[in-house]
Amino acid sequence: MPTDTALPEPFARLQRGLVATLVIIGAAIIGVPLLLTLYLSVFDESIIVFPPHGYTLHWYGRILPEFGGALRTSLETALAAVAISLLAGVPAGIGLARHRFRGRGTAAMLLLAPLTVPGIAIGLGIYVFAVMIEERTGTALSGSVGLMVAAHVLITLPWVVRLCLAALANHDPAAEEAAASLGAPPWRVIWRVTLPAMRGGIIAGALFAFIVSFENLEMTLFLTAPGVTTLPISVLQYLQYHIDPLVAAVAVVQVALVGGALLLLDRLVPVARVAA
């Protein structure tokens, strides 16, 4: 850190102190609600009162009976959305990064645009669109798993495309030409050179896509139906009638799942580099 050596000693100490204070404040803003949630989730109370009479882990046991179906829908939706996003997004990323064609700018914009539209607007739009189709064709669309997955692909695909583009931006296209000159036909160039070079971007894209889908609330609000409800929606509905430590326990599990995914991601690929 050149600034450390450039500043006179008292200022340098002041600067280090300021940085440390800011780091502590930041960590507290993130950490305190998490710790409170964790604390609440072990209260042995049916409504949240302070101080609690005792502590228990039995709320965690009630997660699956209460939210099992929603958790399953969430996981299935997220996994399907990730799979479809990879199948469409990886080739799209290669095409956008490696080829110049008419309509390339428009295609790139359309693929990345959902990132900039509020989830509420997307959800409402899809819902209205689905109802219009239903009225004209008579097929049940709204409230179906298919529509839910399609909507989630809309918000997960941009992440896959974007991270694939970032991975290829750091990759020298000459390596692909070298492979071709060495006798590799185009599909083998992609399989042996391009895809391995994108590995980090693909993994990061898949995990980001999973998290975005798994946590989505605003858009999904418009797409649920009895039996087709994701975990965040289910928690929201539960909160309307109960305020008990069960919700805190669910939140802890959800944070653990997403946090685990992020940790895994960070081990496999330095996120900061890929997402930059």
Partner 1 sequence: MSRLVLDRLGRMYGRAAAVADVSLEIDDGELLVLLGPSGCGKTTTLRMVAGFVAASSGDIRLDGSSILALPPYRRDMGLVFQSYALFPHLSVARNVAFGLEMRGMRGPALAARVAEMLRLARLEPFAERLPRQLSGGQQQRVALARALAIRPRVLLLDEPLSNLDAALRGEVGRDIRLLQRESGLTTIMVTHDQDEAMAMADRLVVMRDGRVQQVGTQQDLYERPATPFVAGFIGRSTMLPGTRAEGGVFIADGAALRLAGRYGGNGAGTLALRPERLSLAAADAAGPGSVAGSVELASYLGAVREHVVRIGPTLRIVVRDSTAQGGGLLSAGTRVTVRWDQGAERLFDAADAPQPSLNPEPTDPRMTADD
Q: Residue 183 interacts with partner 1 (CB under 8 A)?
A: yes
Alpha-carbon separation of residue 162 from 104, 113, 129, 269 (angstroms): 14, 11, 27, 15
Q: What gap in Å lies between CA 92 and CA 40, rounded to an integer?
A: 45
Q: Which stretch binds partner 1 (CB under 8 A): 54-62, 133-141, 178-186, 223-231?
A: 178-186
Residue 5 makes CB contacts below 8 A (sequence gap 6+) with: none
207 in contact with partner 1 (CB under 8 A): no
**Nearer of residues 185 and 259 to partner 1, judged by Cβ:** 185
Nearest approach in angstroms of CB 90 to partner 1 is: 16
Prior bond of 51 cis (ω within 30°): yes
| Segment interacting with partner 1, rule: CB under 8 A, options 1-9, 32-40, 150-158, 171-179 | 171-179
- The token pair at 214 is 């798994």
Stretch of residues binding partner 1 (CB under 8 A), selected from 50-58, 100-108, 184-192, 242-250:
184-192
d(CA 47, CA 54): 13
Q: How far is the CB of 200 from partner 1 (least distance, A)?
A: 10
- Cβ distance 40 to 48 under 8 Å? yes
Q: How far apart are the first and last CA of the chain?
A: 22
Measured from the CB atom, the residue of 62 and 192 that comes closer to partner 1 is 192
From the list 17-25, 35-43, 173-181, 210-218, the region that binds partner 1 by CB under 8 A is 173-181
Binding pattern to partner 1, positions 82-111, x when CB under 8 A? ------------------------------
Give the type of residue at 13.
R
Both tokens of 275, joined, read 């997402």
Residues 187-206 that bind partner 1 (CB under 8 A): 188, 192-193, 196-197, 199
- Pick the binder of partner 1 from 50, 181, 240, 272 (CB under 8 A): 181
Provide the binding-site residues for partner 1, judged by CB under 8 A: 171-172, 174-175, 177-186, 188, 192-193, 196-197, 199
